[in-house]
Amino acid sequence: MDGEDKVERIDIQYAVAGGGIPAAETIRAHVRHALKAAAAEDAVLTVRVVDEAEITALNSEYRGKQGATNVLSFPYEPLPGVNSALIGDVVICAPVVAAEAIAQDKPLEAHWAHIVIHGVLHLLGHDHREETGALAMEDLERQLLAALGYADPYRPAGTA
């Protein structure tokens, strides 16, 4: 994109409405923060904010798991020889994120930041299936959230 204005490469889709859902620019800021830490600032991706029905259907179809979850990430894998900045899609369930924030006694804004960053890190290849990967991913999430002024998302509320 030599000399051209940068085209927005982070698409935000809302398939659900409601209070407490961050504005598109807030979500983009959290995505950019995670991408910058991974030196993947030119990445292209979509974040879709959905209801419980949509995330439940996706969770069942793609993970074989029943029920709603907070976030699903769908990494894009280009065909051999195809160069693409596309890294995939993140799907976030707004009602689940809101319920978790209440249940975990966390500020909703902080929990949204965590879930967005968590989903993007999955697109970038991080995972938490094995303990070593989980510890590394959680440490990176802590660092990214601390840089935004948010508390450790893995520390129980009310602990120092």
Quick one: 10-147 is in which CATH superfamily? Metalloproteases ("zincins"), catalytic domain (3.40.390.30)
Task: Please state, in angstroms and as integers, the Cα–Cα distance from residue 64 to each residue in 68, 122, 135, following that order.
Answer: 12, 18, 25
d(CA 5, CA 80): 29
What pTM did the predictor assign?
A: 0.89
d(CA 69, CA 65): 9
Residue 78 pLDDT: 87
d(CA 142, CA 160): 15
Locate the domains of the chain by residue range: 10-147
Residue 42 pLDDT: 86
Residue 132 pLDDT: 73
Q: pLDDT in tens for each of the 160 residues of the chain?
A: 344 444 459 999 999 998 899 999 999 999 999 999 888 888 999 999 999 999 999 999 999 999 999 999 999 998 899 888 999 999 999 999 999 999 999 999 999 999 999 999 999 988 877 777 678 899 999 999 999 999 999 987 655 5
